Structure 1
Amino acid sequence: MFDGITRRIVSMWFPRLASDRVLRTRPVDAPFALTITEQNTQRLYCLNAQAEAQGLHRAMSFADAHAFCPDLLSAPARPDQDARFLAALRRWATRYCPWVGLEGADGLVLDITGASHLWGGEAALLGDMRAQAARAGLSLRLGLGDTRGAAWALAHYHEGIAPPGQGLCALQSLPVAALRLEGAQATGLQRLGLRTIGDLAQSPRGPLARRFGPELMLRLDQALGRTPEAITPEREPPHYATRLTLPEPIGLSADVMAGTGRLLKRLCDTLKADEAGARVLCLTLQRVDRASQQVELRLASAMRDPARILALFERGISTVDAGFGIDQMRLEASVVEPLPAQQIGPKTQPTPDRLNDLITRIGTRIGLENIQRFLPADSHIPERSFLIAPAAYSQPKPGWPESCWHAPRPRPLRLFPPEPIAGTTPRPATRFRWRRMSFTLARSTGPERIAPEWWLEDDSWRSGVRDYWHVETREGRRLWMFYTPQTPGWFVQGEFA
């Protein structure tokens, strides 16, 4: 009881949540199952009704299932997408009451105390839930009782409504597994002859608690309302957006910049309170003729400094067509990343703000993905000793390449695919031609032998080891050349500055 009102709890169970999610977009008229790999065995994860009618069940190996049902269609399971889909269903369920929480990986729990009369009663409320789920192509089982445990038991084992104050009468014929017990506990109780909740409720508590532990009695008391059980609603994700309605339409770029500055101040204060930074900002400008324009700003790093962000908006705002005037402005941070506060001290490394701002300015013209940087890689093979990554989505390695490249010999500034030249002797030739130019050897340093990484497939290194030489020519070119002992030949692969 709560202030004289009996709590009423609804349990929504989606027994085929994963398969229904997939079949909503790709319906099939055949047995269908999602599979998942467990301990090197592909097993059934979720099935549709037609597959269950063929005698298939969850955790069954896919090979056995296909032998029983040759027409079985399958697809890989995606538990991460199922979790996002269930989170969307939780938001949808708030139409019935504000207190909605998750119940495992395929269910919801709702506290509808004082809300059922808005739908014409409890039966009408459950009827609307079923109709909405059927319209969306979802299988749904419902249970309603005074407690969370009672509602769960009814949803999973006997759909229905337990009248207020009569939880034991509604649950006594259900199996003991309806108390949300583990399989070993339910099996142990059945071996003792305690098959239903009614049998368990009439048995002495002491011996059962000593044999099965306190959790058994806790589950029974929660289902019967003797011990309270909380329903914790999921916290809504933060939404970073702010709006400004203008008393008079504006059209000058300076006025739009001033309004954007006011929006940025409010938005950045909210981001700072949550220790977050914006990566993508979207400014929507509503004109008096109801048309709207958007200015998107993608930042090279998470940021919440309104002055810096405002300067980066200038180019996009200058291209806006104000028409007869702008009377509404809305600014939203559509992509947000954590940006914790940093301790400021004498040893604090300065953040590359100017570089990030430059990357943002160039990225607005050519795209952030097209601005790239080199990063070190853990490989002694020259072609694999570095990576190329978008500068906006990676961090530079401090001190690289000087302090991070542990090569025994210096490496050239420029690397390119090996280019063959004439020669078969183990030492560099006195005179050779490369790229239609003649060169005379002045000095050479080497060899540095580099062996291929045998655990990786690389056609260019199948010839075996390479002996690298640092060659200085009288013409001034400093080349990085290698010799292949297995198949005698010379190649130029790089050039020093």
Structure 2
Amino acid sequence: MFAGTHRRIVSIWFPRLASDRVLRARPVEGPFALSQRIGSSETIYCLNGAAERTGLHRGMRMADARSFCPNLISQPARPDQEARFLRLLRRWAERYCPWVGLEGADGLVLDITGAAHLFGGEAAMLADMQARLARAGVTAQLGLAASRGAAWAVAHFGGSAETLLSLPVAALRLPTDTVVALQRLGLRKIGDLAASPRAPLARRFGQDLLTRLDQCLGHAPEPVTPEAEPPQFATRMTLPEPIGLQADVQAALERLLTPLCQKLATQEMGARRLCLTLRRVDQASQQVELRLAAPMREPARILPLFARGLEDVDAGFGIDQMRLEAVQVERLAPPQSNALQSAAPGHAPPEQLADLITRIGTRIGLENVLRFLPAESHIPERAFLLAPAAFSTPQSGFTAPRPRPLRLFAPEPLAAQGAEPPQSFRWRGMRLTLGRATGPERIAPEWWIEDENWRRGLRDYWRVETREGRRLWMFYTPQDPGWFVQGEFA
């Protein structure tokens, strides 16, 4: 019945991949489910066996699920973490054969042709897979057949390759609407479909239906394509003689940086975090980590930034091996050099600013080097945000209907009366006299945000120039009369 029976394909389906990942780290006794929000409703994304036995199922609304099962424990789903977990399982499955690929978002496919005898035969290999996954707390259903489509059908719908024709047509990996249409025509099993004339099926459902049927029966090829391993950005050096001087370590580091940066350039990547491992002759190891403010791949720029970390290295009786790895990388397009991209007069080039932020960050931490970013608010103290400069990009969106002071501080009360700026007042121990006032600019509080500082309500702001040379930003609160100083112009 099958063509090319020399091939042996194993399909592994993880029906509870998401919930198994969470429960392996934090086991839960009783019903458990992961939820996801679709539109305005929260539904079940994945659940364990205990939850299924209470009548819950995927796609069920969480509100209904909690009414059926009051003791249900839930948490939000993390599809990105499930994808990472599946990739880890793919690497684990390479212990059985080198040809391992992903099968959708919750499965693996292995081409074990010629490899089963290494584990005592196909039955022993499948038993070993099932036992190891069970010990790891991962639910799995396995299928073995001569084609990829048949193995998938057996893993998802049970049975064996010999009973393939008795499986439902849904085992052909068809869209739901196609399955429903076939069932309405009385074609409920793969055998029914295989015995039907092909021309009418192709005219009504298209060639994809027949392709899936042929792939399942082994009449059409469907290769197993292993996922390419991500590039490793690391270089290693074994020294003929132990070294201990910082200058020697820097010279060796420079030799490691050159090939590493060449690898990064080939992949159009830049390093954001580098880790230098120094192994001493007594087998002890030390690590020097460098976090960069921007992706880099120029050895001449990176090497001086390691200087501070190398000062704290204890070489002991000498260092005989060094390893440099780009632990975190980001996409970095090749630079385009033309006159239009040169820095504006009076401004440092972006790479010099990134190097400066890195140097300061190695001393106080990159998270503590901050920059101002604009925020959507007409309230003066809410019109900006503070963000780490290394993990944000500068923006030029600071706009205001009127000029704003360079220095902004908490409102400081003045002893003054009336809605017009006072002719004479005392502020911070200084007696000041009004020279010129511009205003008022009325600013209302944002009613949707509770703010204790704006409990007085409206504010009428004035730009006040004093005869003594101070240029202040003052406001008056009409509903609760009072004068305050909140800023000073340069």
Q: TM-score range by the shorter chain?
A: over 0.9
- Residue equivalent to 2:187: 194
Q: Percent identity at matched positions?
A: 68
Cα distance in 1 for partners of 2:213, 2:136 equals 35
- Residue equivalent to 1:480: 473
Cα distance in 2 for partners of 1:194, 1:405 equals 65
For residues 26-175 of structure 1, the aligned pairs below 5 Å read 26-160=26-160, 162=161, 169-175=162-168
Cα distance in 2 for partners of 1:35, 1:297 equals 39
Q: Could you tell me how far 1:436 is from its partner in structure 2?
A: 3.6
Q: Could you tell me how far 1:136 is from its partner in structure 2?
A: 0.3
Q: Could you tell me how far 1:220 is from its partner in structure 2?
A: 0.5
Question: Which moves more between the two structures, 456-465 or 343-352?
Answer: 456-465
Q: Is the 8 A contact 1:275 1:339 kept in 2?
A: yes
Cα distance in 2 for partners of 1:308, 1:117 equals 54
- Residue equivalent to 2:293: 300
- Residue equivalent to 1:166: none
Cα distance in 1 for partners of 2:182, 2:166 equals 15
Long gaps (5+) in structure 1: 163-168
Say whether residues 1:279 and 2:272 are aligned partners: yes
- Residue equivalent to 2:350: 352
- Residue equivalent to 2:234: 241
Cα deviation code 1:320-348 (max 9, x no counterpart): 11111110000011111111012211111
- Residue equivalent to 1:213: 206
Which of 409, 417, 421 is the equivalent residue of 1:424?
417
Cα distance in 2 for partners of 1:373, 1:82 equals 35
Q: Is the 8 A contact 2:278 2:323 kept in 1?
A: yes
Equivalent residue of 1:245, what SS? strand
Cα distance in 2 for partners of 1:316, 1:36 equals 44
Cα distance in 2 for partners of 1:56, 1:5 equals 41
Q: Is the 8 A contact 1:141 1:159 kept in 2?
A: no
Question: Which moves more between the two structures, 258-267 or 84-93?
Answer: 84-93
Cα distance in 2 for partners of 1:254, 1:173 equals 74
Cα distance in 1 for partners of 2:379, 2:432 equals 27
Which of 243, 261, 264 is the equivalent residue of 2:257?
264
Cα distance in 1 for partners of 2:182, 2:374 equals 61
Cα distance in 2 for partners of 1:190, 1:493 equals 75
Cα deviation code 1:139-160 (max 9, x no counterpart): 1100011111100000001154
Amino acid at match of 1:368: L
Equivalent residue of 1:189, what SS? helix
Equivalent residue of 1:347, what SS? helix
Equivalent residue of 1:299, what SS? strand
Change (3 A) 1:64 1:447: closer
Q: Is the 8 A contact 2:168 2:188 kept in 1?
A: yes
Cα deviation code 1:351-406 (max 9, x no counterpart): 32222222211111111111111222333321122221112122223xx5xxx544
Q: Could you tell me how far 1:7 is from its partner in structure 2?
A: 1.8
Cα distance in 2 for partners of 1:362, 1:61 equals 51
Equivalent residue of 1:460, what SS? helix
Which of 305, 311, 325 is the equivalent residue of 1:318?
311
Cα distance in 1 for partners of 2:353, 2:27 equals 50
Equivalent residue of 1:362, what SS? helix
Which of 455, 459, 467 is the equivalent residue of 1:466?
459
Cα distance in 2 for partners of 1:77, 1:320 equals 43
For residues 398-417 of structure 1, the aligned pairs below 5 Å read 400=396, 405-417=398-410
Cα distance in 1 for partners of 2:36, 2:117 equals 43
Equivalent residue of 1:151, what SS? helix
Q: Is the 8 A contact 1:277 1:338 kept in 2?
A: yes
- Residue equivalent to 1:250: 243
Cα distance in 2 for partners of 1:309, 1:388 equals 27
Q: Could you tell me how far 1:296 is from its partner in structure 2?
A: 0.9
Cα distance in 2 for partners of 1:40, 1:390 equals 34
- Residue equivalent to 2:346: none
- Residue equivalent to 1:375: 373
Q: Could you tell me how far 1:5 is from its partner in structure 2?
A: 7.8
Cα distance in 1 for partners of 2:53, 2:378 equals 58
Equivalent residue of 2:171, what SS? helix
Amino acid at match of 2:383: S
Amino acid at match of 1:9: I
Amino acid at match of 1:472: E
Cα distance in 2 for partners of 1:76, 1:396 equals 33
Change (3 A) 1:55 1:446: closer
RMSD: 1.8
Change (3 A) 1:41 1:406: closer
Amino acid at match of 1:17: L
Q: Is the 8 A contact 1:440 1:474 kept in 2?
A: yes
- Residue equivalent to 1:492: 485
Cα deviation code 1:241-282 (max 9, x no counterpart): 110001111111111111000000110011111111111111
Question: Which moves more between the two structures, 120-129 or 255-264?
Answer: 120-129
Cα deviation code 1:173-227 (max 9, x no counterpart): 1111111122222222222222211111111112222222222211101101111
Cα deviation code 1:261-312 (max 9, x no counterpart): 0000110011111111111111110000000111111111111110111111
Q: Is the 8 A contact 2:11 2:151 kept in 1?
A: yes
Q: Is the 8 A contact 2:413 2:485 kept in 1?
A: yes
Number of paired residues? 482
Cα distance in 1 for partners of 2:80, 2:366 equals 28
Amino acid at match of 1:215: D
Amino acid at match of 1:426: A
Q: Could you tell me how far 1:10 is from its partner in structure 2?
A: 0.8
Equivalent residue of 2:341, what SS? coil
Question: Which moves more between the two structures, 412-421 or 449-458?
Answer: 449-458
TM-score, L = length of structure 2: 0.94
Q: Is the 8 A contact 2:5 2:146 kept in 1?
A: no
Cα distance in 2 for partners of 1:490, 1:447 equals 13
Q: Could you tell me how far 1:66 is from its partner in structure 2?
A: 2.5
Q: Is the 8 A contact 1:142 1:159 kept in 2?
A: no
